[in-house]
Structures are given as structure tokens and as C-alpha cells.
Amino acid sequence: MNRPYNVLFLCTGNSARSILAEALLNRLGGGRFDAYSAGSQPKGAVHPLALELLQAQGFPTADLRSKSWDEFEAADAPKMDFVFTVCDSAAAESCPVWPGQPMTAHWGLPDPAAVEGALDARRKAFKETFVALQARLRLFTNLGIDKLDRLALKREIQQIGRMVGESV
């Protein structure tokens, strides 16, 4: 392939998990991937604790925004090679039909934005989500994508989504 792989992370609100995944893959991908995120019912704003965590880790955040997956159905939208759902509710929804038949997998994680209570507990939830996504995306970026046939690649990305026990 003579262009970066386009990867879309979907979640319902597009304010936390999918945003973290977008930022992580754009860094970890080393130019081999262009990551995007969207939601079926976007919140309209990135969660402040997601922004705080990313900024503390040295990630650029100025271009991150909560947006609808409708943007990626448009004729001029980038053609996706991979689409990953990162929340259970988005995985259960009827997703649009993406042009080009991208590879899809469900990489569900608990919603850190749903954690209530003390600020430290909420920050810890975001950090745990960040670490889990980082572990999955390191595996993903190390796959020999161009060397695997479609069936083997599908099996690998689904297996990455079943990872459990990632810890901070």
C-alpha cells in the first residue's frame, strides 16, 4: 500500500475512549496509520479528563473533537481500512456501510467517563483505559498487515480486542 492505513475508532459519544485511541494510534503508528474517531451520538466535546491525560502525556490535542460518524460516510471522506468499536453500545448499533469493506473488530472497554466519585478515581479510570488502548495498539501496529491474508488479519485484530488484564 502506498498510503497510510486509515483507521476509524467508533464509540457512542466520541468523547473519551475513541478520542484516546485516535491520539494514541496517530503517535504509535509512526506515519503508517492515519487515525480518526467518531460517534453515533457525539457529545459535541472531548471529555476534559481525556484532554488532561493526553496533554500530560505530551499529545497534541488542538485538533481533537467529538464528531458524528456521518462525516465518514461522505463521498470526500477518507476510505477506511479498519474500523474498531471501542464501546459495547456502538458495537450493538447498526453501523453505516463503509465503502471499501474495511476490516472491523470490537475492542470494547469500560467507559471512563461513566466513573463517578472522587477526581482521583476518575483520573485512574482514564489512565487505565489509556494503558489498555496503548497495549492493544502496540500489538496492532506490530502486525505484519501487508504480509497477512485477509482471514488471518481479521483473526488477529479480533484477538487483540479480546485482550483482558491490561494494567497500569
* pLDDT per position as a tens digit, 22-55: 999 999 999 999 999 999 888 999 999 999 999 9
Read off the pLDDT of residues 108-123 as tens digits, 9 standing for 90 and up: 899 999 999 999 999 9
Count other C-beta atoms under 10 Å from residue 120's C-beta: 8
Which member of 10, 38, 86, 87 is catalytic? 87
Residue 44 bears catalytic tag: no
Residue 80 contacts residue 100 (beta carbons within 8 Å)? yes
Tell me which fold the domain 5-161 belongs to: Rossmann fold (3.40.50)
What is the per-residue pLDDT for 89?
62
Q: Mean pLDDT over residues 74-86, rounded? A: 91
What is the per-residue pLDDT for 111?
92
Separation of first and last alpha carbons in the chain:
35
Residues 6+ away with beta carbon under 8 Å from 167: 128, 131
Beta partners for 9?
A: 37, 84
- Which of helix, strand or coil describes residue 52? helix
Read off the pLDDT of residues 99-109 as tens digits, 9 standing for 90 and up: 677 999 999 89
pLDDT at 167 over 50: no
pLDDT at 149 over 70: yes
User: Which residue's entry shows cell 466513573?
Assistant: 115
Which member of 11, 24, 90, 133 is catalytic? 11
pLDDT at 164 over 70: no
Sheet containing 82-85: order of strands: 33-39, 5-11, 82-85, 103-106
Q: Mean pLDDT over residues 76-80, rounded? A: 91
pLDDT at 91 over 60: no
User: Can you give the residue ranges of every domain in the chain?
Assistant: 5-161
- Tell me what percent of the chain is helix, strand and coil, each rounded to the nearest 5: 45, 15, 45
Residues 6+ away with beta carbon under 8 Å from 24: 35, 130, 133, 134, 137
pLDDT band, residue 94 (cuts 50/70/90): low
Residue 95 bears catalytic tag: yes
Residue 87 bears catalytic tag: yes
What is the per-residue pLDDT for 73?
84
pLDDT at 62 over 70: yes
Beta partners for 85?
A: 10, 106
Q: Could you give the dihedral angle defined by the CA atoms of residues 149, 153, 154 and 158, in that order, rounded to the nearest 10 degrees?
A: 160
Which member of 77, 95, 115, 143 is catalytic? 95
pLDDT at 168 over 50: no
